[in-house]
Each structure stands twice: as C-alpha cells, then as structure tokens.
Amino acid sequence: IISHFHFNFDIELDAIKLATSVFQDLRRDDSEASNTANVIAIDNRLYESYFNQSSPLERNKLTQILDLILKEESNRPKVLAIDIDLSPSPVPDASVDIFYDYFKQFKNTPIVLITPQKVVSGVATQTKADWLIKMCELPNIRFAFPYLPSVDNGVVHYWDAHNSFAYQVRAATYDAPNPSGQRTICDHIQQDPSTARRMVNNFYDTDPGIFGVDPEHDQGKLLNYKFIENIGFTAIKYEKETPHIPEGYAAKIRDSVVFFGGNYGLSDIYETPMGNLPGIYLHAGTYFTIHGNKVNELVHIAQYVIEILITPLLGSIFYFAAAYYRKTHSLAAIVLNLVLHPLIFISYMLLSGFILYYFNFWLSVSFIIGMELHAIISGLEEPHVAIDKNRKLLGIPESYIKNAFYFSIIGWSWFILAQEVISPHTT
C-alpha cells in the first residue's frame, strides 16, 4: 500500500535526512574507488552575466567555456561528461556542424553527451536527428540518457541502466563496451538511423531495451550519498567580464572524470536527503555509487527475516517500559503512551541510517509501519482499551472488530497487488 501511493519515497527521503543530520559528524570515507570525479558547473552569476540568460545557451560562448576545460592539454580530463543539450536550436537553418567540428579536435578525449530534449515539430525533429547521426560518426563521442528517477521532484535512487549517463561515463573511463554485449545509443543509430528520430520525437516511444531499464515501471536503486564527500564541486568564475576556472582547481581535473553542466535556475534542481542539488551533481553521485560504492539493499526473504527480527526487538523494549510505567498511573505513563509509537519509528529510522552509513546496507523503513499497525490491531498496545469500551457499549463481539481490521487491510493489499501486476504504475 505504501509503495502504491508513493509514500515509500517520502519515507526513505525523510529517513536518510534524519540519519544524515545525526551521523553527519560521524561519517567516514571508506571509498576505495580508483577514480575520482569533479563537477564544474555554470551557476546563476555566469548564466545571467555571460550568457545573458539565453536559452539554449549561446553556442560560441559555450565553446569558449569548454575551452577552459579542454584546450590546455596538460590539464585535460580523462573523460568529459556534458549534461547540457548541445543539439542545434529547432530552426530550419540550424547548423549541425558546430560541435562536430569542435569535438573533432579532441579525438583522444572521450566525451559523453546527453540525448536531445524532446521536440514535436517535424523540422526540429529532423534537425536534431541529423545532428545525432552526425555526432555518432566521431569515435570519441558517446550518447546517454540523462533522466533521473524523480518523484515529486525528489531523488533518492538511480537507474541501473547501461545507456544512462553515469554508466556511459564509466564505460568511457575504461574504454569498455556496454555490459553483456548491450549496444550503445550510437550503435543503435548506426544500425537503424530512424532510431534517432524516434528518440528525439519521444523517448518513451523507443524500445526500453535501448535505455537498459523500463523507466515507466522501474523505481531504481538507492544512491550512495557519501558522494558528497568524495566528489569535487566548483562553478566557473566570472570576474572582469572573463570566465575562468578557480585558481588551483584546474590541476584537480587533470586526468580525472569531469562532469560539466548547469546549476542555474530551478528546472534541474532536485530535493535530496542532502538538500537541494542540481542534476549534474546527482549524475556524478551515480557515477560514484556504481564505481564500487553501491548500497546493498536486502531483497525478498533476507530483508523480511532481518526486519522481522529487528522490529519486534525495538518494539519489545518500548512495550515493557510502557507496561512498567502503566502500573504506576503516573504522568510518565501518560506521556509514554503518547510517544510510544513515534519513538519506535524514529529509533528504527536511526538504526537504518546507522547501518547504511557504516555497513552500506539499507533496511526498508516502511516495514516498521506494518509492524506498528499490527501491534495496534492485535490489541497489544494501549489504544485497544478505547476500542474495547466502545465495543461493549455497542454490544459488538470482539472478534468482529479484529476481523474487520484484518480483512479490510488484507483485502485492500491484495487489490493493490493485483493492480501492480496487471497494470504497473509509473514511478
């Protein structure tokens, strides 16, 4: 039920936020990744002063910004990943050659670009499709889908997809083919040029196999938010009407993986457990996660066994404490009755956060809600007293009350499960 109504995302987001605030000073970097990543962004100041808030960004000025990263051969990155739509503007005379000619001079540097944003007019579609086909002729160019699995503009997951942005950056880092022989986007386009037009027209009309997962139905895997401590982040400075990379930062990007994108406006900003972050930072975080830092999410029977062992343990501690104080009829007993269930829930959230940060395992927090509901319904806790009084006044047998609760929840659960199987919802 929780998953069906998207409450699971909110619970996970709040749980990791709470754990982060508590364990922030206790975190340590256990990463043994052989490569680091750096993010270089266009911020609001550069966007307003240098680009004059133009959209799309003026192409000649954009190449001058890219020169700051690519021109100096001694400080050139190992891989450059660009999270900006570089496809031609949707006008009839738009040139498809400007970035083709530009990137051609850096043929020894792998460059990962994002697929163009969706357009609907025939002329714009053909222009962008022609650009895709043309760019795929360059051996150092890879294309990737930039989509993030967001819910209500929040992100806690990434898509485990071979043609997603971070996965193609990783493949470019090692000059490796796609896993399990999966074809790249350029492979698909070169085999069937009409694929480019379908991608530009509407990504969701293309075969999900091109992406690597079905974004309509796949929730994704949990991001490792330790990337905050392991990825450099800076913005292009704009001083004396001249853009430049901050002093000392140019040396950091030498032979490293560099993500370049926008950190301006509000369209590409997402709510995360670490605050509001731009999409380019989350792509870099995905790269860090899949680069030997994946969060281990327990699944199926192992998850249930561990959670069923942990939740009654926490519940029993609070329950026996409550039973002791209830006998005294003291103020402490009244207060404990009010805060008992929130205490159990918060304790489990903190425990999940502690395990996540120090053991890289994630225990689903939503499971504790089911345990709490079961405790209330079965009459183990104080709320059954009020129910029992009303039952006696109305002359209703006790079994009717419990059966009404049980069968309504069980029936509703089966109904939603059937809906999920027959017609999965969009995440």
Query: So what's the pLDDT on residue 396?
Result: 46
Angle at alpha carbon of residue 131, lines to 216 and 70, rounded to 5°: 100
Give 60: exposed, middle or buried? Use CB within 10 Å, 0-12, 13-18, 19+: exposed
- Are residues 61 and 238 in contact, defined by beta-carbon separation less than 8 angstroms? no
Tokens of 170: 């990783």
- Are residues 137 and 196 in contact, defined by beta-carbon separation less than 8 angstroms? no
Beta-sheet strands, E only, within 50-160: 79-83, 111-114, 141-144, 157-158
What per-residue string of b and e applies to 126-136 under the rule 16 or more CB within 10 Å gives b? bbbbbbbbebb
Give SS3 for 243. Answer: strand
- Are residues 45 and 238 in contact, defined by beta-carbon separation less than 8 angstroms? yes
Mean pLDDT of the chain: 75
CA distance 247 to 244: 8
Name residue 335's amino acid.
V
Encode pLDDT of 235-280 as tens digits: 898 888 889 888 777 778 888 999 999 988 877 889 888 888 999 9
Encode pLDDT of 19-55 as tens digits: 666 665 444 444 444 446 899 999 999 999 999 888 7
Give SS3 for 146. Answer: coil
Calculate the CA 191 to chain-centre distance.
31
> What angle do helix axes 279-290 and 165-173 make, rounded to 10 degrees?
50
Query: So what's the pLDDT on residue 253?
Result: 85
Q: Are strands 242-244 and 237-239 parallel, antiparallel or unpaired?
A: antiparallel
Residue 195 has pLDDT above 70, yes or no: yes
* Range in 46-55, 392-401, 407-416 with the lowest mean pLDDT: 392-401
- Are residues 168 and 142 in contact, defined by beta-carbon separation less than 8 angstroms? yes
* Range in 115-129, 189-203, 356-370 with the lowest mean pLDDT: 356-370
* Range in 36-45, 67-76, 345-354 with the lowest mean pLDDT: 345-354
Q: How confident is the model at residue 386 (pLDDT cuts 50, 70, 90)?
A: very low
Per cent of the chain over pLDDT 70 is 61
Please list the alpha-helical segments (H only) found in 212-299.
227-230, 279-290
CA distance 152 to 329: 45
Encode pLDDT of 86-135 as tens digits: 998 765 555 667 899 999 999 899 999 999 888 777 778 888 889 999 99
Angle at alpha carbon of residue 6, lines to 4 and 12, rounded to 5°: 125
Q: What are 114's strand-pairing partners?
A: 144
